[in-house]
């Protein structure tokens, strides 16, 4: 007997004899051909390795319209939709009254169009009956006013009663859809953002502090509260911070509390879903804030998720290639695994100062850049323009009349490309020789006390990232405490908070043969946001054999030169001292303010089998490129692809038996790229080619056996 294709059998039978009898026939057929013991298993449908989709809101439209929308999606080669994340008032129109039949019908209809569903929990937008009857579930703003109904995120994430209502609606959803074969995953809430400053949350903060510090005396010691007579006698005296003028220890502890509170809020829902749902259904939440948000520690939040996802928006202007690539790498680092892009803009948004539209082809290029950096799915927000509401002007694939907008054709072409490339992409992930370390504690500590208002940490990170990507290198951006043994080179731009434990972790990496380059402001603070007594880089000053004598915010440029070249320092400069005989000075400051003149700006030292270096300045792009070239060469990091024309981005994903390269021409002119060896041209019928020609915003997916 031939192998039975169950879905094909069922669809054919439905056309001939109806849905109910077709299902019975399928069960009988499976009983004849399936191996013993397999019928009770719930493996779920086969999901493509690469998915394209959109956010769909069937609750906003007549049910008679759904089939046409889904047919348009199928015609555009979309294979996944996210539904339900703002539908609480439709799912539970009155307290305890649940109406989920419409959602079941929408999911079933999507399946008929070969479209999978990610089901959102609706807790980002509670219904008015809830917040009107139980106003304590509304969050309190910093100014003491309660949020009101009519927007979203008006809820209090710490309130036990609100969490009870969340648990009830999520239980209903999980029990109803947790074994639905066409629901492949869950999104918890939507873009966690706003905390609450009510009395109950403050009491929770008091309890959190007790658990972390043990005694009020320990807290006073670690926060140095003798300064300005800030000493506390009782936990209840410690405020929720209302401004950046509070004690830095308090500010840092509060951010950590916010992180733990969001994690426990999320945990209420993930625990319920895992109780009732198939393990094959993944659980995620969509991180917002253009990737760089720091409302909470994303590494902590991601621990309890099956996979990370984020919302990739450009906003005003055109794609910033390096920034967007780095944000994808950052999200991949949350779980050190491939991820999803749960929202991205189909052309334009409606919240930027000027809502410019992406150039023709640019929306497709962004989708492929996401994939090149580790995304396995890209979904657009949103499918159809809402007739009313706060985001009427936001870009979509289909207009308010239900007819395709100009961007629909481009996205449809991207869908065809995704389907053609899925087999080659399957089982692959970016693999890097280089890591950039990220730390939310460090981010917060610097932003609490920037010292130079023009010092932007993302810009500093991109100074390190951009030259490496220009040399066709894959870069991981990972938590500073992540395993580092697989990397030849580790970069730590402005790793401001270095505890003794983190220092030991980094030193072990160096002693075992790794190359570590610390950037400016590194090691100034300890885990309580207090100054390290060793001065910078704190516990690593001894191994470095040198330290920061003083730091200077710059309002003008300072000349810098040495064996790595000549250039200028901007924004920030640190005067270094050398204490060990085998320390080497790589760069010195020229004539400046008298304090920096002639003193080291960058030093390096061999330690164990590896090397530790310290760069104490923000450098101009040309000199920074030479510094990164030295760091890569010293660590024996080699480019992964030969040189390419300007504007062409090279992304690499590696599998067990093959490697794919995704080439994207972000330039305005066509580009010819010579390949290092003949490769399969996946999007052009798998012919082996030695060269590809890329139009502006053009993409090539190339496959070669693993070496």
| Residue indicated by tokens 């010195």 | 588
Crossing angle between the packed helical segments 321-335 and 362-372, to the nearest 10 degrees: 40
Phi-psi region of 96 (alpha: psi -120 to 50; beta: other; left: phi over 0): left
| CA atoms of 467 and 473, how far apart (whole Å) | 9
Phi-psi region of 565 (alpha: psi -120 to 50; beta: other; left: phi over 0): left
Q: Please provide residue 545's backbone torsions phi and psi, each rounded to the nearest 5 degrees.
A: 75, 20
Active-site residue (options: 59, 191, 574, 703) = 191
Q: Which residues of 480-590 form beta strands (DSSP E)?
A: 489-492, 515-518, 546-553, 558-562, 565-578, 584-589
CA angle 459, 463, 465 (to 5 degrees): 105
Task: Kindly give the pairing relationship between strand 183-187 and strand 116-120.
Answer: parallel
Contact 575, 599 (CB under 8 A): yes
- 343 a catalytic residue: yes
How far, in Å, are 98, 482, 558 from residue 264 at the CA level?
A: 25, 23, 48
From the list 472, 498, 416, 527, the residue with the least C-alpha distance to 642 is: 472
- 74 a catalytic residue: no
Q: Please provide residue 361's backbone torsions phi and psi, each rounded to the nearest 5 degrees.
A: 90, -15
Q: Which residues of 138-228 form beta strands (DSSP E)?
A: 183-187
Joined together, the tokens standing for residue 303 give 């621990």
Instruction: Write out the DSSP string of 230-247.
Output: ---SSGGGPPPP-STTS-
| CA atoms of 137 and 623, how far apart (whole Å) | 54
Active-site residue (options: 91, 92, 343, 362) = 343
Q: Cα 239 vs. chain centroid, distance in angstroms?
A: 31
Crossing angle between the packed helical segments 362-372 and 407-425, to the nearest 10 degrees: 20
> Residue 204, SS3?
helix
Joined together, the tokens standing for residue 672 give 């010819």
- What is the set of active-site residues? 191, 343
């Amino acid at each position: 007997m031939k192998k039975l294709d169950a879905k094909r059998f069922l669809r054919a039978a439905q056309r001939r004899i109806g849905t109910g009898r077709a299902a019975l026939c399928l069960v009988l057929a499976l009983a004849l051909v399936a191996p013993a013991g397999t019928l009770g298993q719930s493996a779920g449908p086969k999901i493509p390795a690469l998915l394209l989709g959109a956010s769909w809101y069937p609750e906003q439209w007549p049910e008679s319209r759904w089939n046409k929308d889904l047919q348009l999606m199928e015609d555009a080669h979309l294979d996944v939709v996210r539904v339900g994340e703002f539908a609480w008032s439709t799912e539970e129109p009155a307290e305890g009254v649940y109406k989920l039949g419409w959602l079941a019908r929408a999911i079933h209809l999507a399946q008929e169009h070969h479209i999978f569903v990610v089901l959102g929990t609706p807790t980002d937008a509670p219904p008015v009956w809830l917040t009107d009857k139980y106003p304590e579930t509304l969050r309190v703003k910093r100014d003491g006013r309660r949020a009101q109904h009519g927007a979203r995120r008006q809820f209090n994430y710490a309130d036990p009663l609100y969490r009870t209502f969340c648990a009830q609606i999520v239980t209903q959803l999980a029990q109803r859809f947790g074994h639905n074969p066409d629901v492949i995953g869950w999104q918890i809430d939507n873009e966690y953002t706003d905390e609450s400053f009510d009395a109950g949350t403050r009491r929770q903060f008091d309890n959190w502090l007790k658990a972390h510090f043990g005694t009020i005396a320990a807290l006073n010691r670690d926060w140095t509260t003798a300064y300005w007579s800030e000493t506390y006698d009782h936990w209840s005296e410690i405020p929720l911070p209302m401004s950046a003028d509070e004690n830095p220890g308090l500010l840092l502890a509060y951010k950590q509390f916010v992180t733990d509170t969001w994690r426990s809020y999320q945990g209420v829902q993930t625990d319920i879903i895992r109780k009732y749902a198939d393990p094959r259904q993944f659980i995620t939440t969509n991180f917002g804030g253009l990737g760089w948000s720091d409302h909470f520690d994303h590494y902590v939040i991601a621990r309890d998720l099956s996979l990370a996802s984020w919302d990739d928006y450009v906003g005003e202007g055109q794609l910033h290639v390096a920034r967007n690539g780095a944000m994808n790498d950052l999200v991949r680092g949350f779980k050190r695994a491939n991820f999803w892009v749960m929202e991205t803009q189909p052309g334009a948004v409606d919240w930027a100062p000027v809502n410019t539209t992406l150039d023709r082809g640019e929306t497709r290029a962004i989708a492929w850049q996401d994939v090149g950096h580790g995304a396995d799915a890209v979904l657009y927000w949103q499918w159809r323009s809402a007739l009313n509401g706060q985001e009427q002007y936001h870009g979509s694939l289909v207009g308010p009349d239900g007819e395709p907008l100009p961007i629909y054709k481009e996205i449809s072409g991207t869908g065809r490309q995704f389907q053609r490339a899925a087999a080659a992409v399957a089982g692959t992930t970016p693999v890097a020789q280089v890591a950039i370390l990220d730390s939310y504690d460090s981010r917060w500590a610097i932003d609490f006390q920037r010292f130079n208002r023009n010092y932007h940490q993302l810009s500093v990170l991109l100074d390190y990232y951009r030259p490496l990507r220009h040399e066709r290198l894959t870069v991981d951006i990972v938590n500073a405490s992540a395993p580092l043994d697989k990397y030849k080179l580790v970069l730590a731009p402005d790793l401001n908070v270095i505890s003794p434990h983190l220092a030991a972790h980094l030193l072990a990496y160096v002693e075992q043969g790794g190359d570590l380059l610390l950037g400016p402001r590194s090691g100034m603070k300890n885990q309580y946001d207090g100054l390290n007594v060793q001065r910078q880089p704190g516990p690593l000053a001894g191994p470095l054999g040198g330290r920061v004598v003083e730091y200077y915010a710059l309002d003008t440029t300072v000349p810098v030169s040495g064996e790595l070249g000549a250039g200028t320092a901007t924004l920030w400069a640190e005067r270094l001292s050398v204490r060990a005989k085998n320390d080497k000075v790589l760069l010195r400051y020229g004539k400046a303010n008298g304090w920096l003149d002639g003193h080291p700006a960058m030093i390096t030292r061999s330690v164990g089998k590896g090397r530790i270096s310290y760069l104490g300045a923000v450098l101009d792009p040309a000199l920074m490129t030479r510094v990164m070239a030295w760091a890569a060469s010293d660590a024996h990091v080699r480019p992964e692809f030969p040189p390419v024309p300007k504007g062409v981005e090279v992304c690499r994903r590696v599998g067990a038996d093959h490697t794919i390269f995704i080439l994207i021409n972000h330039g305005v002119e066509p580009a010819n790229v010579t390949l290092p060896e003949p490769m399969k041209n996946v999007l052009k019928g798998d012919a082996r080619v030695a060269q590809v020609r890329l139009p502006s915003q053009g993409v090539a997916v190339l496959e070669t056996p693993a070496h």
